[in-house]
Amino acid sequence: MAAETDSSAGLTADDIALIFQYLDAGLNSTIFKGQLLGIYTGIMAFTLWNIYTEKCKRIGKATIVVIMILYVMAAIDFALYWSYIRRIYVKHGQTFVDEYLAYFDSNNLEIPMAMTGIISTICADSAMIWRCWMVWGKRWPVVMLPILFLISGTVFKAIVTYKQSTDSAADAFIDLLLILYLAFILATTLWCTLAIIFRILSVGRASSGSGRPIRVYRHIIEVLVESSALYAIFLLLDMAFLACQNMANYYMETVAAFARGVAPTLIIGRVAAGHARPDDSWQGSIMSSLHFGRDSEQMGSQDDTTQSAIMADNALEVPPGRKDNPEGVSE
Q: How far is CA 112 from the centre of its chain?
A: 18
Tell me the C-alpha distance between 157 and 311, whole Å.
Answer: 41
pTM: 0.75
Asked if residue 163 has pLDDT above 70, the reply is yes
Mean pLDDT of 175-188: 93
pLDDT at 231: 86
Tens-place pLDDT, residues 38-80: 999 999 998 888 887 755 556 677 888 899 999 999 999 999 9
pLDDT at 33: 94
> Is residue 200 within 8 Å of 220, Cβ to Cβ?
yes
pLDDT at 183: 95
Say which CATH class 13-307 falls into: mainly alpha
Confidence band for 276, pLDDT divided at 50, 70 and 90 = low
Q: Which amino acid is at 263?
A: A
Indicate the DSSP class of residue 314. Answer: -
Confidence band for 307, pLDDT divided at 50, 70 and 90 = very low
> Is residue 119 within 8 Å of 76, Cβ to Cβ?
no
Greatest mean pLDDT among 128-132, 180-184, 304-308: 180-184
Asked if residue 290 has pLDDT above 50, the reply is no
Asked if residue 88 has pLDDT above 70, the reply is yes
Tell me the C-alpha distance between 228 and 236, whole Å.
Answer: 12
Confidence band for 157, pLDDT divided at 50, 70 and 90 = very high
Mean pLDDT of 314-326: 38
